[in-house]
Amino acid sequence: MSKIIVNHEVISSEDKSLLNEIKALKKDDEITYFDNDVKVSLKVLNNKILLTRENDKFKIDLEFEENKNLVTDYVIKDLGLKVKLETKTKKIVIKDESIYVSYDLFMNDSFSDSFTYKLEWRCL
């Protein structure tokens, strides 16, 4: 397990979220860090990316594979509610110390927004 520093950026049509110089852990092909009170886990598997965002209130699982639509869940814990999420991945770029994903998100079969997720890291 390695300690790393990550910079992440999530851009949508309505919002832009930046995190700079966040301490994280990298074990094999998985990176884990905190975005405020949300634990973020990112795993790369043979050109497929699994992204989980979780805290006490919710858990969002997203899967990305270029030019594919993949269905996962958004769980609202205190209500016991599951919402179907579908990602339509437009582009994935995986490099030694960075990941770029461009995708459209659908909730319950309705278009939600287009997103760009960028993650860069370096050793501590």
Whether 1 has a pLDDT exceeding 90, the answer reads no
pTM over 0.85: yes
Q: Side-chain half-sphere of 52: how many Cα atoms within 13 Å?
A: 12
CA dist., res. 35 & res. 29, Å (int): 19
Tell me which residue range forms the domain holding 72. Answer: 2-123
- For the record, the structure tokens of 28 come out as 């094999």
CB 72 within 8 A of CB 58: no
Q: What is the CATH number of the domain that holds 103?
A: 2.40.128.20
Pick from 114, 57, 60: nearest CA to 89: 114
Portion of the chain with pLDDT greater than 70, in percent: 100
112: left (phi over 0), alpha (psi -120 to 50) or beta: alpha
Distance CA 118, CA 31 (A): 13
Higher pLDDT, 1 or 58: 58
Question: If you average pLDDT over residues 20-35, what whole number do you get?
Answer: 95
Backbone angles phi, psi at 78, to 5 degrees: -70, -20
What is the rounded average pLDDT of the residues 95-115? 95
Domain count, the chain: 1
Q: For the residues 35-60, what does the mean pLDDT come to?
A: 95
